[in-house]
Amino acid sequence: MSRQRSSRRLQAIPLTVCLLVAGGATAAETLVVRGGVVHTLAGPPIADGVVVIESGKIRAVGPAATTPVPPGAQQLQAAVVTPGLVDAHSVVGLSGYLNQPQDQDQLDPVEAIQPELRALDAYNPQERLIEWLRGFGVTTIHTGHAPGALVSGQTMVVKLSGNTVEEAVLRPTAMVAVTLGDAARAQGPDAEKKSPGTRSKAVAMLRSELVKAQEYLRKRSLADESKRPDTDLRLEALAKVLAREWPLLVTADRAHDIASALRLADEFQIRIVLDSAAESYLLVDRIKAAGVPVIVHPTMRRAGGGGETENISFETAATLDKAGIPIALQSGYESYVPKTRVVLFEAGLAAAHGLSFADALAAITIDAARIVGVADRVGSLEVGKDGDAALFDGDPFEYTTHCTGVVIDGRVMNTDPR
């Protein structure tokens, strides 16, 4: 379906919250969100549109003039309404805003390969960064173990709501996080005594673990139960990768590391999602032929004067999108306070460097939801999907625009302009 570019100059409509007391429905049951422009991401933008949410699910979307509004519904109104934003790669909830050891659970440096580590067991739904991100319209994040080890652990997808991880979770395991390149190599004073020390050793170690998982799967299917292996959590996780249930999320920036990831995917017939991929524009044809999506590095990430991201470009997202490669944008991992970027701003900068308004918005809504496996629930304003929406007082990508309201599962989370 073709996407239509939205006007950058939108008349601001103040956010209004009102409770209509007529009729039988209560505010907790029904919410009506009305926008001067409603970007559904399932079709063209709707001028003067409404989204009707009942019991947490979207029940109707359309022009205000022709879409019935249930009596007794709570109403929100803004200049622009979009689906709740989806951050395609974050470590929020494992990495905390205090930047202290006690709230930094995104990376365990003890071992190079730990696919058995579950983000589910470390996620803190009370982390203050969750509220902060939500204030900018972010309602869903793909979060978990960070780059920095050959296999750092599992990722998950959560809503930015709920008091417990069980209330927040959409997918308890989404991917297994892998890093290829300098960040995966042993570091520190005893680095020479640890592995991997080189790129070839890193790939060999990963290949070896996948071969072990293949043998584990073979033995587990033996008819003689006495010959089946005991449960091995590490191999269980990699077995799901081999079964194509979970993709590898491969963080790689150099072109030759990206090529290594593509070779492994082809060798073991596994699914991968490329992450960061600073030099992906050098391998556009290979990435497209492999059918691999890319969660593009944060547009505002800086190379720091060199290293693996010295060839980073503001135009990476636009280049890959133009080639027909599925992309999403991310906040990524920051080692310094405030520990996270905001995908809304990442998309705005990508739109300023070649990505169309519609494609930039899709990269932080429906396209991000598809890549992380939750497009059946979030990412667009469609009947039957979760009632998640972000409200703005102007063009979402304009620096002076405020997010004036956030709705998750039909509940108004905040109406303080940010």
- 212's CB contacts (< 8 A; 6+ apart) are 235, 238
- The Cα 339–Cα 368 span in angstroms is 21
What is the predicted pLDDT for the residue at 72? 87
Q: Which of 333, 323, 337 is nearest to 292 (CA)?
A: 323
Q: Which of 155, 156, 157 is nearest to 145 (CA)?
A: 155
What is the predicted pLDDT for the residue at 191? 62
pTM exceeding the 0.85 threshold for the entire prediction: yes
Q: Which of 45, 130, 28, 115 is nearest to 83 (CA)?
A: 45
Do 174 and 143 form a contact (C-beta atoms < 8 A)? no
The domain defined by 16-83+382-414 folds into Urease, subunit C; domain 1 (2.30.40)
Do 404 and 394 form a contact (C-beta atoms < 8 A)? no
What is the predicted pLDDT for the residue at 304? 52
Q: Which of 123, 170, 174 is nearest to 386 (CA)?
A: 170
- The Cα 207–Cα 101 span in angstroms is 32
Residue showing tokens 């003039």: 65
Q: Which CATH number fits domain 86-371: 3.30.2270.10, 3.90.550.10, 3.90.1170.50, 3.20.20.140?
A: 3.20.20.140
pLDDT tens string for the chain (418 positions)? 444 434 333 333 444 444 333 333 233 489 999 999 999 999 999 999 999 999 999 999 999 999 999 988 999 999 999 999 999 999 999 999 888 888 899 999 889 999 999 999 999 999 999 999 999 999 999 999 999 999 999 999 999 999 999 999 999 999 999 999 998 887 766 666 578 999 999 999 999 999 999 999 999 999 999 999 999 999 999 999 999 999 999 999 999 999 999 999 999 999 999 999 999 999 999 999 999 999 999 987 765 556 888 889 999 999 999 999 999 999 998 777 778 999 999 999 999 999 999 999 999 999 999 999 999 999 999 999 999 999 999 999 999 999 999 999 999 998 888 8
Q: Any idea of the CA torsion for 237, 215, 289, 177, to the nearest 10 degrees?
A: 20
Tokens of 325: 């490669």
Q: What is the SS3 assignment for 151-192?
A: EEEEEEEEECCCCCHHHHEEECCCCEEEECCHHHCCCCCCHH
What is the predicted pLDDT for the residue at 113? 96
Phi, psi dihedrals of residue 167, rounded to the nearest 5°:
-75, -25
- 112's CB contacts (< 8 A; 6+ apart) are 149, 150, 151, 184, 186, 194, 195, 196, 202, 205
Helix ranges (H only) for 221-356 are 233-242, 255-268, 284-290, 316-322, 343-351
What is the predicted pLDDT for the residue at 313? 92
What is the predicted pLDDT for the residue at 183? 86
What is the predicted pLDDT for the residue at 6? 41
Residue 49's DSSP bridge partners are 35, 63
Do 284 and 325 form a contact (C-beta atoms < 8 A)? yes
Q: What is the DSSP letter of 386?
A: B
What is the predicted pLDDT for the residue at 87? 98
What is the predicted pLDDT for the residue at 22? 30
Q: What is the SS3 assignment for the chain?
A: CCCCCCCCCCCCCCCEEEECCCCCCCCCCEEEEEEEEECCCCCCCEEEEEEEEECCEEEEEEECCCCCCCCCCEEEEEEEEEECEEEEEECECCECCCCCHHHECCCCCCCCECCCCCHHHCCCCCCHHHHHHHCCCEEEEEEECCCCCCEEEEEEEEECCCCCHHHHEEECCCCEEEECCHHHCCCCCCHHHCCCCCHHHHHHHHHHHHHHHHHHHHHHCCCCHHHCCCCCHHHHHHHHHHCCCCCEEEEECCHHHHHHHHHHHHHHCCCEEEEECCCHHHHHHHHHHHCCCEEECCCCCCCCCCHHHCCCCCCHHHHHHHCCCCEEECCCCCCCCCCCCCHHHHHHHHHCCCCCHHHHHHCCCHHHHHHCCCCCCCCCCCCCCECCEEEECCCCCCCCCCEEEEEECCEEEECCCC
Domain borders along the chain are 16-83+382-414, 86-371
- The Cα 312–Cα 332 span in angstroms is 14
- The Cα 31–Cα 387 span in angstroms is 9
CB count in 10 Å sphere of residue 300 = 15
What is the predicted pLDDT for the residue at 306? 67
First CA to last CA across the chain, in angstroms? 32
